[in-house]
Amino acid sequence: AAAFLSASGATARLAACLGSLSAGVAAEACRLLSSLVDVGSEAQRSAAKSGLLSNPEACAALVACVQRGARRHGARRIAGETSSLLSVAAACVLEQCICLPGRNTTAAPIMEHLLAECAAAGRALFGLFTHPASKASDVAVAVMRTLAEEASPERCAATRDAALADGAVLAHLRAALFHDRAPRREESQALVAMWCDGHP
The series of mean pLDDT values per 10 residues for the chain, 200 residues long, is 78 91 92 93 93 93 84 46 83 94 95 91 77 83 83 75 77 88 84 72
Cα 9 from Cα 87, distance rounded (Å)? 25
Sorted by sequence, the CB contacts under 8 Å of residue 148 that are 6+ apart come out as: 156, 159, 190, 191, 194
Answer whether 142's CB lies under 8 Å from 99's CB.
Answer: yes
Which residue, 116, 6, 98, is CA-closest to 51?
Answer: 6
List, as one string, the DSSP characters of 59-102: HHHHHHHHHHHHHHTT-SSTTHHHHHHHHHHHHHHHHHHHSTTG
**Which pLDDT value is given to residue 91?**
92
**Which pLDDT value is given to residue 74?**
44
**How many residues can be counted in the chain?**
200
Residue 152 CA, chain-centre distance (Å), reads: 17
**Which pLDDT value is given to residue 186?**
87
Cα 23 from Cα 85, distance rounded (Å)? 8
Cα 161 from Cα 156, distance rounded (Å)? 9
**Which pLDDT value is given to residue 1?**
66
**Which pLDDT value is given to residue 61?**
94
